[in-house]
Structure 1
């Protein structure tokens, strides 16, 4: 498969890119900084420079052309203000959805966040509240499109080694999850067309990743 990953130099994105490359897929990492190209090449990922904050939809269509799926793993990142939460975490995700539609790419995986889908807590600081609102808006935009989307909302992210065991639920994620395991879940979702249309909350848990994804699909269909 050819998979285009927005935010290709991010910590989840690079893990996913390496997993895809290791099994012989064709990952493409969309990055805004040309200095990140060498890192992606070392991972086995083909870099494409395209700034999703300023690009036109036609430029993004060119960046993802020929892909079998797109993954939105971009983010304004720590230290960014509320304004960039809107331009990156919301608008760039929506732009990728619009480009996928124009390019005829049906599969779209969204890396969202815990708390999205609900108003931020009243005591949340301004930037976190803006982040949750931006992620919620991005998720809602994607879910309104005629795409085979899956929204993944991980719990608090860590750089601890992955265990390959997680919990996927329709309820709010609680606790933590290693980025290694987020990447493994994304890889499995790419291999699971029946996961389209699901909003999944992800945390560390007892289930091997393939079993957790398969259970989430069964629960949606009512199968045992």
Structure 2
């Protein structure tokens, strides 16, 4: 399988790339503003993608692939240009490239705007809201929107809750495994999936999705 990871040097994206690098049958294209920071692996090809550029420029950079895992974010520095508009341009480019599978890393509560003003991440959630809404309602992509609770730097337990929340955190390890599982199992198509650390092994949790 040919998989593009956009945001390949971020906290989650780099973890996704490292895990996929162990899948010898997959070809991974690691997209980042600084592709030289992507570790060298036999089946990983780094490429430069700048989400602040025009959509046509983004499209020109995308390799042919079967799926995109979108983990990019500005870390709060450029929410409109990257987290919102950059994500939308990546979706538009994917459609024009006929890369129909698009898995979006989002956030808990991203589609609940009535609650945004209660969160210290209000501006981030607003950006994610409009990006997620665009993906769901303005594209024909086979999307999945993954909504994890807070990301933490812990070793992955390999056990999660999908479809609801049972804890207030997720290890980045677990999130990366779920993103990969959604793509490789073609699971969760046209779904918005809540996620937290839980008690169900990740493969079983993914197999229970539609």
TM-score by structure 1 length? 0.86
Alignment of 1:180-219 (within 5 A): 180-217=173-210
Alignment of 1:71-220 (within 5 A): 71-77=69-75, 80=77, 84-119=78-113, 120-125=115-120, 128-144=121-137, 145-169=139-163, 171=164, 174-217=167-210
CA deviation string 1:40-95 (max 9, x = no partner): 32595321112111x222222222231111111000115x2xxx111111111111
Kindly indicate which of the two structures has a greater share of residues assigned to helix: 1
Q: Helix, strand or coil for the counterpart of 1:216?
A: coil
Check the 8 A contact 1:86/1:130 in 2, yes or no.
Answer: no
Q: 1:59 aligns with which of 47, 57, 73?
A: 57
Check the 8 A contact 1:18/1:45 in 2, yes or no.
Answer: no
CA distance in 2, matches of 1:85, 1:6: 16
Describe the shift of the 1:98–1:215 C-alpha distance in structure 2 as closer, same or farther (beyond 3 A): same
Further displaced range: 112-121 or 177-186 = 112-121
CA distance in 1, matches of 2:119, 2:157: 31
Alignment of 1:13-52 (within 5 A): 13-24=13-24, 25-33=26-34, 36-41=35-40, 45-52=44-51
CA distance in 1, matches of 2:136, 2:54: 22
Computed over aligned residues only, the root mean square deviation of the Cα atoms, in angstroms, reads: 1.8
TM-score by structure 2 length? 0.92
CA distance in 2, matches of 1:87, 1:67: 25
- Alignment size in residue pairs: 207
Q: Helix, strand or coil for the counterpart of 2:154?
A: coil
